[in-house]
Amino acid sequence: TNSYINDTGTGRLKLQSNQVQIRNAANTENMAQFTENGAVELYFNNSVKFETNTNGCLLGDNVKLQLGGSADLQIYHGGTNSIIQNSTGDLYFKNTNNLFIQVNDNEAAIYARPNGAVELYYDNSKKFETTSTGVSVFGLQTINGGSTDTPFKINATATNGPHMRFQKDGSDLHFIGCAPGTAAGGDSEDLAIRFKDQLFFNRNGTNFAKIDDTAFYPNSTNTYDLGASSKRWRNIYTNDLHL
């Protein structure tokens, strides 16, 4: 029924040739080929699917490394793009040390560090980093809210409530937000602005009024009005009035 090459000795069975081919019964298709000083090739339906070369091995375009009982994970090159495709469950990338995703050979894109930061880059320049207390953003931030009416929201459960701090070289200068968070007194329903020196009101690059620690006054004399003939303040309460 079958044909056998059966070596029952203790030595080796050697086939010696500068090229060995294993072909189908009709001698019309290669199944495997072994070339002296060259490649080992494995075929499927007379098409090379696996080939060794001087650097390791070669898989042709659209030849897939398939893992899992139902080929759930596939890794292959489609002729134009390289693809990792998972068809069941979740896909995890795990590494004991740092995990780096780079483009253009050595340009940083995403760095993930164990027990540390996740960093996002643009053109090899870090723009976003997670920290032990939240995140740090580098450079200009643009928020595109689209159709939502709340493109930017600050929410906090701390006693001081949500607020923003503006810093220069790491030093806090100004605060805007919930009154307790700006140390302005009041309660969490009050909004406060805390500034270090002066608070300016500016339109189109020109200051027209400001507040300092003594007064609220126009930025130039005899130039700006308080109210208008058709939009008047109802009452003015003052200890003194200079006209």
- The model's pLDDT over 110-167, given as tens digits with 9 standing for 90+, comes to 999 999 999 999 999 999 999 999 999 999 999 898 888 888 899 999 999 999 999 9
* Average pLDDT of the residues of the chain: 94
pLDDT(61) > 90: no
Q: How far apart are CA 160 and CA 175, in angstroms?
A: 12
For the purposes of burial, counting CB atoms within 10 Å of the CB of 191, is it exposed (0-12), middle (13-18) or buried (19 or more)? middle
Predicted TM-score (pTM) of the model is 0.72
pLDDT above 90: percentage of residues in the chain:
85
Across the chain, the runs of DSSP E, i.e. the strands, are 19-23, 30-35, 40-44, 47-53, 56-58, 65-67, 73-77, 82-86, 99-103, 107-112, 118-122, 125-130, 135-137, 163-168, 171-178, 191-194, 199-203, 206-211, 216-218
